[in-house]
Amino acid sequence: MSSPADVLRPEGRTLTYGEAVFEATRSEMARDPNVFVMGQGVDDARGMFGTTLGLHKEFGAERSFDVPLAEDAMTGIGIGAALMGMRPIQVHQRMDFALLCMNQLVNMAAKMSYMFSGAHRVPLVVRAIIGRSWGQGAQHSQAFHSYFMHIPGLRVVAPTTPHDAKGCLIAAIRDDNPVVMIEHRMLHNVRGVVPEESYEIPYGKARILSPGKDITIVGISHMALECVRAKHLLEAAGIDAEVIDPVSLSPLDIETIAGSVERTGRLLVVDTGWLSCGASSEILAEVFERIGQHRPFVARRLGYLPTPCPTTRNLENLYYPSPQSIADATYRLVRGADAAAWQPGTVDSREVAEFRGPF
């Protein structure tokens, strides 16, 4: 899992992330008649950003269907169907709406295996899309992966590459446990190599996207991409960053991350979410618990600013970490707070810059 070759080099067939999600869903639906998809608009002409487009035609309206605006009950319905051996995939166009499902996900799905000592299992997949796109504002841009990471009994994956998106979703569908898959809207149009055959990405395996020796940068979901861009900016300053994509957030592959920090002595965690009690605090805390006693290191966290998301573009640009702000933070971590000022170059985050409205 630690080789970046297969996911970052353009060898073989490429798909967008959205196409990879589609392919995983379609192939699993073909393989297993118990798999079905439900969610607002999954069978409409947009097909959830293309990820479910036309599945209802291919597999029938029973196996890919639109639902009323009833997130809480629809989650419970997914759980109930899963209890009976079905394998539902519930899709939320915006992760913000998953807040309506917390009771079912946390009080029911996550607990049934345990509460009933194995008498039940809940093979439910929840796909939750982080809605950053185009001035979406405070209620259509949030990321709650840490909420799910907090809960024993839930698995959480946040693939960054099309390759991992396909393999994580296949693994999630085949898993007998509830899995929350975090997808960043900005990733849907990103392209990468995706093998045609079926494969599962294992839980708890981080991926070293790009090796380096000066600092370990952990980027979650879309931020992994931004971190790779920051790495390139940092080359101009002579800094060689190692970029790690955790892929699986719960369980977390702290061994790979801590092993990297052990080598570099520096850690920057960049999250696509808020910091407080977030994935970044967990990663930092676990790295410290694991190596802090014998290996001194320095660390920082970046993520959304500690405010709701503003709508207007100039403030929104400040709100999200960017390759520049990541490079800047890295530089200061590596060279020290007193180091001579350095201005990172510019790089386009194409998927952000090219995104157009209305949503």
> Hey, what are 49's tokens?
């950003």
Does 5 bind ligand TPP (CB under 6 A)? Our answer is no
Residue from 29, 55, 79, 352 in contact with other proteins (CB under 8 A): 79
Residue 71 is a catalytic residue = yes
Residue 145 is a catalytic residue = no
> Hey, what are 256's tokens?
């790979």
What is the Cβ-side half-sphere exposure of residue 109, based on CA atoms within 13 angstroms? Answer: 34
Give the number of other Cβ atoms within 10 Å of residue 339's Cβ.
12
Subset of residues 269 to 328 that bind its own copies, contact rule: CB under 8 A: 274, 276-282, 284-286, 288-289, 292-293, 296-301, 306-308, 310
Q: Could you tell me which of 91, 85, 84, 6 has the C-alpha nearest to residue 56?
A: 91
Residue from 86, 102, 120, 355 in contact with its own copies (CB under 8 A): 102
In 204-356, where do the E strands start and end? Answer: 207-210, 215-219, 241-245, 248-250, 266-270, 298-302
Distance CA 212, CA 350 (A): 24
**Is 123 or 162 the residue whose CB approaches its own copies more closely?**
123
Does 115 bind other proteins (CB under 8 A)? Our answer is yes
Give the number of other Cβ atoms within 10 Å of residue 342's Cβ.
15
Distance set, CA 339 to CA 301, 331, 335, 336 (Å): 19, 9, 6, 5
Question: Contacts with other proteins: how many residues (CB under 8 A)?
Answer: 74
**318 SS3 class:** helix
**41 SS3 class:** coil
User: Which part of the chain contacts ligand TPP (CB under 6 A), choosing from 59-67, 79-87, 93-101, 321-329?
Assistant: 93-101
Does 118 bind other proteins (CB under 8 A)? Our answer is yes
User: Which part of the chain contacts its own copies (CB under 8 A), choosing from 133-141, 165-173, 176-184, 197-205?
Assistant: 133-141
Q: Residues 23, 71, 282, 316: which is the catalytic one?
A: 71
Q: Could you tell me which of 16, 21, 81 has the C-alpha nearest to residue 52?
A: 21
Closest distance to its own copies from the beta carbon of 139 (Å): 5
Distance CA 245, CA 7 (A): 11
Residue from 24, 53, 55, 108 in contact with other proteins (CB under 8 A): 108
Residue from 5, 117, 197, 296 in contact with other proteins (CB under 8 A): 117
Q: Residues 56, 140, 145, 188: which is the catalytic one?
A: 140
Closest distance to its own copies from the beta carbon of 172 (Å): 19
Which chain residues interact with its own copies by CB under 8 A? 72, 96-97, 99-100, 102-103, 106-107, 110-111, 114-115, 137-139, 142, 146-147, 149-153, 250, 274, 276-282, 284-286, 288-289, 292-293, 296-301, 306-308, 310
